[in-house]
Amino acid sequence: MTLRTTALIAGALGLLLFIGGLIADAVRPSDVGEPRATLDTSVVVLEPDILALSPEAQLTVEGSGEIAAYVGRTSDAEAWIATRDVTFVTGVPVWEELAVEARDAQPVESSASPSPSASASASASAEPTAGASPSASPSASPAPSEAPVADIWRQHWTATGTLEMPVAQVPVGNTLVIESVDGTPLEAVQLTIPRAIDDAWVAPLKWWGAILAVIGIIALGSLIFDIRAARGRGESWAAARRQASPARPGGRRHRREELAATGGIPVVAEGDVAEPAVHADGEDDADRGSEAPEPEAAAPDGDDDEDGEVTR
Q: What pLDDT does 262 receive?
A: 76
What is the phi/psi pair of residue 54, to 5°? -150, 95
Task: Name which of 208-212, 243-247, 288-292 the model is least confident about.
Answer: 288-292
For the whole model, what pTM was predicted?
Answer: 0.51
Q: What pLDDT does 162 receive?
A: 92
Residue 57's nearest CA partner among 153, 189, 197 is 189
Classify the C-alpha dihedral 215-221-226-231 as positive or negative: negative
pLDDT band at 5 (very low <50, low <70, confident <90, very high): confident
Q: Is the pLDDT of residue 183 over 60?
A: yes
pLDDT band at 61 (very low <50, low <70, confident <90, very high): very high
How do strand 36-38 and strand 188-194 relate by DSSP bridges?
A: antiparallel
Count of residues for the chain? 312
- Cα 187 vs. chain centroid, distance in angstroms? 35
Helix pair angle (202-224, 3-26), 10° resolution: 140
DSSP conformational letter for 263: T
DSSP conformational letter for 148: P
Distances (CA, A) of 302 to 205, 210, 310: 112, 105, 7
Measured at the CA of 26, the angle between CA 21 and CA 30, to 5 degrees, comes to 120
Distances (CA, A) of 179 to 146, 163, 166, 228, 287: 14, 10, 17, 83, 130
Note the pLDDT tens digit of each residue in 101-124. Answer: 988 877 765 544 444 443 434 343
Hey, is 236 helix, strand or coil? helix
Return d(Cα 154, Cα 73) in angstroms, integer.
Answer: 8
Contacts of 173 (CB under 8 A, 6+ apart): 48, 74
pLDDT average, residue stretch 263-280: 56
Return d(Cα 222, Cα 233) in angstroms, integer.
Answer: 17
Task: Name which of 88-92, 191-195, 248-252, 267-271 the model is least confident about.
Answer: 267-271
Q: What is the largest CA-CA distance in the chain?
A: 231
Q: Is 96 in contact with 86 (CB distance < 8 Å)?
A: no
pLDDT band at 229 (very low <50, low <70, confident <90, very high): low
pLDDT average, residue stretch 168-184: 92
